[in-house]
Structure 1
Amino acid sequence: MAATELESVHSADVVTKVDTAEVPSAAWGWSGESRRTFRTAGWVVVVILLAMLFEGPQGASSGSGHTGYIFLIGFAVLLAAILIRDSLLQRKPR
């Protein structure tokens, strides 16, 4: 009887959209994702990648040209495209 009372009290406190049979951690409220947090973190990473383009002056032995800059810009553009696509898909009604 004590287990039944605990389960009924606990299930009344936690309201989730996830079935606790499929995701046991949903009973504790850990199953949700914060899309806003992930998007914000993604844009912060894009800004950091682009800020790396403005590093201090290189020494005379830099040698490899602009390969590093190409990769920084490429990764920043790829991440920005993923974030924009996610934002646009989230707006469409399903």
Structure 2
Amino acid sequence: MASTEVERHTGVDVEDVPSAQWGWSKENPRLQQIGGILAGLFLLLMMHGNHQGHVEDWFLLAGALLLFGYVARSVYLGRNRDTR
């Protein structure tokens, strides 16, 4: 009788990476991009507060812009990558 189990080939040896059996051995760029956007939005939300000076605002804004720039670069490079 034939087995009904599906054997998935991911190109990663389960002996080397035990989590590959569950499909956790690859990076997920989309999830990283969503995390970067959420972190940048959180930094922008922290600008609203009860602090007196605005020096903190500049650092929060710079950090958020760096994160958004990294995400935009990641999206741009991902779209222009060769998919062979």
State the TM bucket, normalised to the shorter chain: 0.7 to 0.9
C-alpha RMSD of the superposition: 2.3
Number of positions where the alignment pairs a residue of Structure 1 with one of Structure 2: 78
Q: CA deviation at 1:39?
A: 1.0
Aligned twin of 2:43: 49
Structure 1 residue ranges without an equivalent (≥5): 1-8
Q: Whose radius of gyration is greater, 1 or 2?
A: 1
- Structure 2 counterpart of 1:66, from 54, 67, 75: 54
Structure 2 spans left out of the alignment, 5+ residues: none
Deviation at residue 22 of structure 1 after TM alignment: 5.4
TM-score using structure 1 length: 0.67
Aligned residue for 2:12? 19
TM-score for both structures, normalised by structure 2: 0.73
1:32 corresponding residue in structure 2: 26
Q: Percent identity?
A: 32
1:53, CA displacement in angstroms?
1.3
